Amino acid sequence: MKKTMIGILLALVLLFTSAAPALAFAADGAQTGIAADEPADADAAAQEPATDGAVPEDVPDQAADEKTESGFVRFFRNLFDCIRRWWDRMVQHFRVGKEGVKNTQMQNAIHMLKSVTDTIGDSFIITTEDGKVIVVDGGQKSETPYFVEYLKAATGMKKPHIDAWFLSHAHDDHCEVFLEVAEHYADQVTFDKVYANFPEASFYDGYDEWAVQVITDYNRLMPLYEGKTAELAEGDVFSVGAAKFTVFYTFNPEWRNCNEGSTIMRMDLGGTSVIFNGDAGVNAGNYVVEKYGGTGLLDCDYCKMSHHGQDGVGRNFYEAVNPEVCLWPTPTWVYENTNGNLTTFETRAWVADLGVKREYKSFEGSQVIPMKPRIVTTTDVFEDGYPAETAVDRLAALGYEGIDMGFDYWVFDGSPFLGDDYLAWARSLRAHADEAGVPYTHAHAPGEADDYDYAVRSIRAASVLGARYLVVHPVFNSNGTTIKTKARFIAVNAAAIKKLLPVAQECGVVLVSENILWGASADPRIIADLVKQVGSPYFGWCFDVGHAWCSGYGPEILRSCSVAPLSVHIQDNDGTGDGHLIPGDGTIDWDEFIDALKAVHYLGDCVLEAHHQSLWAPDAERDAILARLFDVAVGLRGKMM
C-alpha cells in the first residue's frame, strides 16, 4: 500500500511538472499551441496535386476557434493536452524499455523507427563514432512520444541533444515530430540545427493544404529555434562530425508538388554511403540522375526507398544508386498494397532485379542498421620500422579501406614515434594516407594500460592520425605474478584506464581493451565487465577471436558478454597457439563467429590481425598474401551484412 501511494504521488508530481508551463500560459490568456489540432495525414499514394483549391474539411480554423473560446475552456483544454502527453510518454517509455533498444552512442549506426500506429512516415536517428546525433525527418505527431523515448535509449542520454535535424519536405508524416519536439518537448530534447528548404506557404495554396499547414506551423514556431535554421541548397557539401553530407537536389519551383520538393542527399559515414530522398518523385529523380549519374556520386551502398517504396522516383534512379541495402520506412498496408491502388509491387520487383542483398522494413519493428564494415588491416603485416608511407601505398593498391597503426612496432632506437616531433610525424602520415584514400581508423599502443607515457603518446598520435580507436592492452601481471582473479583484474585495470580517460576524451579517441592470453585477461567476459565497471563512452573493448580460440573460448562466448565489443580482431589459429593466420587457415568456425557478431549487434569494422604470414614472408611475396587476406575479408563482410 505504501509503495502504491508513493507511486501515485510521484505520478502527480510528474504530471504537475508537465502541466505547469501550459497552465501558466493559459492563465494569462496566452496561446499555448500553434497547431493543437493536426491535419489529416497525407495519403501515401497522393502524388498528383489537388487543383480545386479546396481546403480539407478536417483542417480546422484554429484561430477562429480560439477567439470564441473562453479562458476557462482553454485552461482545461491545455490541462487535458498536458495529461495526454504525459500519459503517452509513460506508455512509450515502457514500450521502448521492453523492446531493449540498443544504445549506439559513439558508434556509427542508423536507427529506422517503426510506426507505433502503422501509419506512413519517415523516422531515422543516426549516431556517429564521434558522438554526434542526427535525425532525418521524424514522422507524424502521434509518433512523437515514441520517438523521444527511443532517442533517449539509442543515445543513452536522459536529455538527448541532436546536432543536426534534416526535414526532407513539408509533409506532416515527415515534419510533425520535429514541430512537436520544438513546441512541447524542449525540456526533454535539444537540438543545434534544423536543415530544410521550404517555399512560402502560399506556394502550395490550392495544391497541397497539408504542406501549407506544415510550413505555416514551421514559421509560427520559428521563435523557438531562431538562429538554428539552415536552408539546404543543391551542391552543399558539409560535415556533421564524422558524417559528410552532399546535397543533390532540393525544392524546385518548377514542380508545384510537395513530394517533388524533397531534398535528395548523400551521407557518408564510416566508409558507408547512404541516399536519403524523402518522397521524391519521378521528376526529381530524373533530374538527379541526369546531372549526377555519370559522376559516381549516386553509386551508394544503402538507399532509402522514396515515398515509402511506391510512386516515388523511377527505376532509373535505383539503378544509378545500385544499392546493396534498401531501407523501407513503410507500413504494412503500403508494402502489401492492401488497398490495391499503390505501385509497391512494381518497386519491389525493381529491388529484386537489382540483386539487393538486404532489406530493412520499418513495419517489422524499429531496427538498428549497421554501417558497411570497413576492411582494415594492421600495419604489423610489415616489419618494425617499415616505411609507413610505402605501407599505405601498397595497402591502398590492394583495396584496403582502413589501416590499424601498430605503434607497438615503432618502439626502437631512433623511431620517430619516440622522438620529440612525433606529432609532426603523425601529421605527415595522415596527409599521405588522406591522399591515398585509405584513412587510419584504428591504432595499437605499446605495453599495457599502466604504461602511462606510452599510452598517452599513443593517444595523442592516434588523434593526429585520425584513428578513432586505440587498443590499450590490459594489465595482466602485477608484481611479477599473473592476475588470475576477476576482482583484482578489474580493480587494477579500471584504475589504469580512468587515469588515461581525460586525455582520451580531450583527443576524441576511444580506448579499447582486448582479451589476451594470460590469467583473467583471457576471458572475454571479464574484459566486457571491465568496460561496464568503468562506464565511459570513451572506453570499450575489442574481441580478439584468435586469442579467445587458443584460450579455450569459441565465438559463442560473445553472447555471454555483458557489453558488446566496439571492435574485433580477426585472425585464425589451430587452437594451440596464437597463429595470427588468414581466416580459414586455422580451425575457427567463421560462420559461427559471424552468427555471434550478429546476435550481439556488432556495429564495427573488420579489423584484420592476420599478419604473421605476410610478416614472415619475403617482401616480394607479401602482396599476393595480402591480396588473399583481403579477398577472404570481403567474403566475411558479405556474411556480416
Helix (H, G, I), strand (E, B) or coil at 339: coil
Task: Output the CA torsion 535→539→545→551 (10° steps).
Answer: -60
pLDDT score for 26: 37
pLDDT at 471 over 50: yes
pLDDT score for 68: 54
Q: What percent of the chain has pLDDT over 90?
A: 82
Please give the Cα distance from 51 to 91 (Å, whole number). Answer: 41
Alpha helices in 140-208 (DSSP H): 144-155, 172-184
pLDDT at 274 over 90: yes
User: Per the structure block, which three cell numbers stand in for 607?
Assistant: 579489423
Instruction: List the beta bridge partners of residue 543.
Output: 568
Q: What percent of the chain has pLDDT over 70?
A: 88
Query: What angle, 0 to 180 degrees and rounded to 10, lies between the N-to-C axes of helices 144-155 and 172-184?
Result: 70
Going by C-alpha positions, the residue among 209, 191, 180, 218 that lies closest to residue 89 is 180
Q: What is the pLDDT of residues 482-506, one digit of tens each?
A: 999 999 999 999 999 999 999 999 9
**First-to-final CA distance of the chain:** 51
Going by C-alpha positions, the residue among 165, 9, 187, 7 that lies closest to residue 89 is 187
Residue 10 CB burial class (10 angstroms; 0-12, 13-18, ≥19): exposed
Q: What is the pLDDT of residues 26-68, one digit of tens each?
A: 333 333 333 333 333 444 444 333 333 333 334 344 444 445 5
pLDDT score for 90: 73
Considering only the C-alpha atoms of the chain, give the largest distance between any 2 of them, rounded to a whole number of Å: 89
pLDDT at 179 over 80: yes
Contact present, 537 and 501 (Cβ < 8 Å) = no
Please give the Cα distance from 90 to 96 (Å, whole number). Answer: 10
The helix (run of H) or strand (run of E) holding residue 337 is none
Confidence category of residue 411, pLDDT binned at 50, 70, 90: very high
Q: Which amino acid is at 181?
A: V
Residue 607: φ, ψ to 5°: -100, 115
Contacts of 494 (CB under 8 A, 6+ apart): 530, 533, 534
3-state helix, strand, coil in the chain (%, to 5): 45, 15, 40
Please give the Cα distance from 396 to 55 (Å, whole number). Answer: 59
Query: In which residue are the cell numbers 558479405 written?
Result: 638
Contact present, 176 and 42 (Cβ < 8 Å) = no
The helix (run of H) or strand (run of E) holding residue 12 is helix 2-27
DSSP state letter for 546: H
Contact present, 584 and 546 (Cβ < 8 Å) = no
Question: Within 10 A of 2 (CB to CB), how many other CB atoms are there?
Answer: 6
Q: What is the mean pLDDT of residues 258-267?
A: 98
Q: Return the half-sphere exposure (C-beta side, CA atoms, 13 A cut-off) of residue 263.
A: 27
Contacts of 369 (CB under 8 A, 6+ apart): 109, 110, 111, 112, 302, 325, 327, 360
User: Per the structure block, which three cell numbers stand in for 606?
Assistant: 573488420
Q: Which amino acid is at 74?
A: R
Q: What is the pLDDT of residues 60-113, one digit of tens each?
A: 444 444 455 667 677 766 776 777 777 777 777 777 778 889 999 999 999 999
Contacts of 78 (CB under 8 A, 6+ apart): 19, 22, 23, 25, 26, 32, 33
What angle (nearest 5°) sits at the alpha carbon of residue 416, between those of residues 414 and 422? 140
Distances (CA, A) of 433 to 212, 269, 391, 427, 624: 49, 18, 10, 10, 22
Q: What is the pLDDT of residues 282-296, one digit of tens each?
A: 999 999 999 999 999
Please give the Cα distance from 68 to 74 (Å, whole number). Answer: 10
Contacts of 159 (CB under 8 A, 6+ apart): 187, 188, 189, 190
Please give the Cα distance from 393 to 497 (Å, whole number). Answer: 34
Pairing of strands 440-448, 469-473: parallel
Going by C-alpha positions, the residue among 120, 126, 125 that lies closest to residue 139 is 120
Going by C-alpha positions, the residue among 271, 375, 301 that lies closest to residue 628 is 375
User: Per the structure block, which three cell numbers stand in for 478?
Assistant: 602485477
pLDDT score for 27: 37
Query: What angle, 0 to 180 degrees and rounded to 10, lies between the N-to-C axes of helices 71-99 and 144-155?
Result: 40
Contact present, 437 and 477 (Cβ < 8 Å) = no
Please give the Cα distance from 510 to 536 (Å, whole number). Answer: 9
Query: In which residue are the cell numbers 509497391 written?
Result: 344
pLDDT score for 69: 60
pLDDT score for 20: 43
pLDDT score for 76: 65
Please give the Cα distance from 610 to 185 (Å, whole number). Answer: 50
Helix (H, G, I), strand (E, B) or coil at 100: coil
CATH architecture of structural domain 101-369: 4-Layer Sandwich (3.60)
Please give the Cα distance from 91 to 85 (Å, whole number). Answer: 10
For the chain, give every domain's residue range: 17-28+57-100, 101-369, 377-640
Contact present, 253 and 199 (Cβ < 8 Å) = yes
Please give the Cα distance from 123 to 44 (Å, whole number). Answer: 15
pLDDT score for 1: 44
Q: Which fold has domain 377-640?
A: TIM Barrel (3.20.20)
Mean pLDDT score of the chain:
89
Q: What is the pLDDT of residues 557-602, one digit of tens each?
A: 999 999 999 999 999 999 999 999 999 999 999 999 999 999 999 9
Please give the Cα distance from 470 to 511 (Å, whole number). Answer: 5
